[in-house]
Chains A and B, each alone.
Chain A
Amino acid sequence: MSNIKNISRRSFVKSVGLASGGLILACNTPVFSDKDKKPENLVDFNPNLFVQLNSDGSLILIASRSEMGNGVRTSLPSVIADEMDADWSRVSVQQAVGDKKYGDQNTDGSRSIRYLYEPMRKMGAMARVMLITAAAQKWQVPETECSAENHFILHTSGKKIAFGDLVEIAKTLEIPSEENLKYKSPKDFKYIGKYLKGIDAKEYGNGSAIFGLDKRLPNMKFVAIARCPVTFGTVKSFDKTEALKISGVVDVIEIPRIEKPFGALGGIAVIATNTWAAFKGKEALKIEWDFGDNQVYDSDQYMNQITENVHKQGKIGKDLGNVNNAFKNAAKTIESTFQLPHLAHTPMEVPNAVAWVQGDSCEVWAPTQAPQSTRKEVTDYLETTEDKVTINVTFLGGGFGRKSKPDYVVEAVIASKTINAPVQVVWTREDDIKHGYYHTVSAQYLKASLDKNGNVTGWLHRFALPSITSTFMPGVDYAAGFEISSAANVPFDIKNLKVEIGQAPAHVRIGWLRSVINIPHGFSINVFADELAYAANKDPLEFRLNLIGNDRIEDTKDPIKYNTARLKNVLKIAAKNADWGKELPEGHAFGLAVHYSFYSYVASIVEVSMKNNKVKVHNIYTVIDCGIVVNKNTVTAQMEGAAIFGMSLAYYGKITAKNGAIEQGNYNDYKMIRMNEIPKVHVEIVESTENPTGVGEPGVPVIAPAIVNAIYKITGKRYYNLPLSDYDLV
């Protein structure tokens, strides 16, 4: 039984947001972990992917995932269009609202293509077969004499008919059997694996793309909210007199704290007729806060505390062989301690949302990576049912994980309900930096032993970091499984390996940020491995390839196993592209890093120079193996962007807290890489027939350690902490 159906005549077409008419196919994609399960029977058919071919030839795909620069609105339809032999210029994309019927809509974890490649191809192939069948019926010829090409069905006699003209017949056909479904040969792909331009590029360039911040409703009020400087602090009292005097301010209301992971922080909201008046009104508020327990948070002291915790034995995360024996019998042992700060996402578009509550119903327009959890949060707050809540997904002006957390939507819903009007809540940049879901802060301690030949015989990795889990289960003060595994699964061939975790309570909301735990672990592991190469008196490239060891498939108890041959391959290609070992200008050096994350393999080699004790990155050679590539343009862009994202955190990324309040507030003290600092980024994508894996995130973790390793080569100084601005190097 197929998991794809012809729903052209089903009544629920309208409920998924498509106009009726045309040939409409729906697919019931299993979630990834259920991949091996048989498609469910027809009674349970619960489709979550939809494609519609209209009689005018237009082809519409519903994009279930959010567009935030990840290119998903281009790559997903290109797969269907290719397999269907459709004309790309006839394809348009309609953004899905948040609804379980669209399957998993969480646009995070670098998995849109990983989850949806196969079902997209299958739908495309089925549509093609149905159109061929329709043409064969119309012409009264055998199907074998018909073929599809660029939105037409051709007959061997030379006659042809447009896709759109076959819709009426195709609508009536049964879905073809999957056993006989023929897919295109990859050599015939027109879009898959090619460089396809972004489907929304024009709108981005002329200002007509509507981001959340650009949504307007009649009589909509603008809202700015003053939140307690200390996480989870509350309002004791407030005076709104001065705020109400500001022209354009119409009201001041209290926003309660909603004690849920994505609930509103609470605070005082200024309602105004324009954003500026709301911002000014917020500044004019006089608020007395109860700062609460987290006012003890001092990030410098905290770093000392978690560093102490990694200098003593912790809880066991993994214990292979006998590390203590290895250390005892070593020719040499090396140990290092790393300190890595909190980071903030700072997407260029600040958190914002439009909400309109009417009775027990609510409509939201928001830049969200998580339309369904947004719907759930709103439904819970309004104590209504999900069918009364519509979440429209706008373009996202960047997400990076911040917009997976819909606290800002809940605020808008509270404000709209309270004043009984449509509202747009707009965070200032300061709000964004001071009230985020921060990337964790961590202390890391690594110790390794070398035998007399310079081989690594033992490896101890101990770290302490406030867990993302603490956001969902307050009080959790040790790293969770997913935060341990990327250290525990270090891809090195070491017989004695131990991972320990130290205590680290959270004092701010901890959240996932592009590449998540791979940033700190990728940094400490790559810098430490480089340090070991020098201790062993070996070339870092040769040393690293040996450390990864022989070709093997490692069982990480994940649905996808990792393959050390692919890991070594990306490093070797990067070395070849950079011409590792070549003579560089005086004061220049290469540094390398290689990391496996989101099931993809990435290596970067950076060329750095030091002049007057300042770092300059000249070239970055990145190689990614992410299996089958759908859009080379997107993958290349993501690697280029990841290089800049990685440089920003390496150079400047540091969020600190004093008396519980975040000290940074805007791009002057939370800096980003700018045009004058960019290197040339050279990207190579490994040709592969393996299943597609992550792209959005895995390019980030390698950048900072590769830079630090290059600096060591030039200066002989090893920098264990980030950012480099703390050492006055940038």
Chain B
Amino acid sequence: MITLRINGKKHDIDVEPDMPLLWAIRDVVGLTGTKYGCGKGLCGSCKVLLDNSPVQSCLIPVSIAEEKNILTIEGESENLQLLQESWIEENVPQCGFCQPGQLIAATALLDKNENPTDDDINEAMIGNICRCGTYQRIKKAINRTVELKKQS
């Protein structure tokens, strides 16, 4: 048995310790917002926060994630919720498939950096591919969130 703490809730699951966290989340726990895109840590679709750090869950064996705090797209965090609002306001998604991973990457950025530069955004988001090409709007939505936070 391995215990995962996802979005504040405990899940005891019976899986091989080498199973990547992605598949434990999707196929065993049943939260499908975290996406499979490449399986090699190349596209960022599977990003989750592991103890507040962004990781590609397709690369992390489930045993390493045990007892750590996992935040997925279904979870709650101040920056994630603010970014989700901005994503809607800036009309970011096209097909929408990569957006959970993009939002998690952006959440990790804003958790650590309240006032990111353009280079900071590029660095934080470089691991996330969007085949529809929504990058420009992703950047706008991140900047919008930063501005809103400054005003409040």
Contacts and interface: CB of A to CB of B under 8 A. Distances in A.
29 contacts: A68-B95, A201-B88, A202-B84, A202-B88, A205-B99, A205-B100, A206-B74, A206-B84, A207-B72, A210-B32, A274-B27, A275-B23, A276-B27, A348-B45, A348-B132, A349-B35, A396-B95, A397-B35, A397-B97, A640-B133, A641-B94, A641-B133, A667-B38, A667-B40, A667-B129, A672-B131, A673-B135, A675-B122, A675-B135
Contacts of A348: 35, 37, 43, 45, 95, 97-98, 129-132
Nearest to A272: B27
Nearest to A643: B133
The bracket for how many chain A residues form the interface is 35 or more
Interface string B2-41: 0000000000000110011001001110111111111110
A285 to B, nearest CB: 17
B99 A204 contact: yes
A213 B95 contact: no
A429 B38 contact: yes
Interface string B38-72: 11101101000000000000000000000000001
A721 interface: no
A675 B33 contact: no
Contacts of A70: 94
Nearest to B72: A207
A204 B45 CA distance: 13
Given A208-B33, A274-B23, A667-B42, A674 B126 contact: yes
Nearest to B42: A667
Contacts of B95: 67-69, 347-349, 395-399
Contacts of A397: 35, 95-98
A396 B94 CA distance: 10
A558 B33 CA distance: 44
Contacts of A275: 23, 26-27, 36
Interface in A383-415: 395-400
Given A274-B27, A275-B23, A668-B40, A675 B125 contact: yes
A247 interface: yes
B30 A216 contact: yes
A673 B73 contact: no
Interface in B63-105: 72-74, 84, 87-88, 91-100, 103
Contacts of B129: 348, 667, 672, 674
Contacts of B26: 275
Contacts of A67: 95
B33 A206 contact: yes
A160 to B, nearest CB: 31
A441 interface: no
B144 interface: no
Contacts of A428: 39
Contacts of B92: 201, 205
Nearest to B22: A276
Contact of B87 (A205, A209, A277): A205
B117 interface: no
Nearest to B127: A674
A356 interface: no
Interface in B119-146: 121-123, 125-139
Contact of B121 (A666, A673, A675): A675
Interface string A270-291: 0000111101000000000000
Contact of A201 (B20, B39, B43, B87): B87
A675 B118 CA distance: 10
A675 to B, nearest CB: 4
A463 interface: no
A520 interface: no
A118 interface: no
A633 interface: yes
A203 B92 CA distance: 12
Given A275-B23, A396-B95, A644-B135, A206 B73 contact: yes
Contacts of B123: 676
List the 5 closest pairs (A to B, CB-CB), nearest first: A207-B33, A644-B133, A397-B97, A204-B96, A69-B94
B27 A222 contact: yes
A224 to B, nearest CB: 11
Q: For B20, B128, B135, which residue has the most chain A Cβ atoms within 10 angstroms? A: B135
Contact of A429 (B23, B34, B40): B40
Contacts of A426: 36
Contacts of B130: 348, 644
A149 interface: no
A694 to B, nearest CB: 16
Given A208-B33, A216-B30, A642-B133, 6 more contacts: A204-B99, A207-B31, A350-B37, A429-B43, A667-B38, A678-B136
B63 to A, nearest CB: 13
Contacts of A642: 133
Contacts of B34: 207
A676 B126 contact: yes
A671 to B, nearest CB: 9
Contacts of A216: 30, 32
Contacts of A214: 32
B133 A198 contact: no
Interface string A666-691: 11100011111010110000000000
A589 B143 CA distance: 29
A645 interface: yes
A346 B43 CA distance: 11
Contacts of B73: 206-207
Contact of B131 (A202, A277, A398): A398
B48 to A, nearest CB: 11
Q: For B43, B88, B95, B100, which residue has the most chain A Cβ atoms within 10 angstroms? A: B95
A640 B137 contact: yes
A648 to B, nearest CB: 8
Interface string A407-434: 0000000000000000000101100000
A700 B31 CA distance: 35
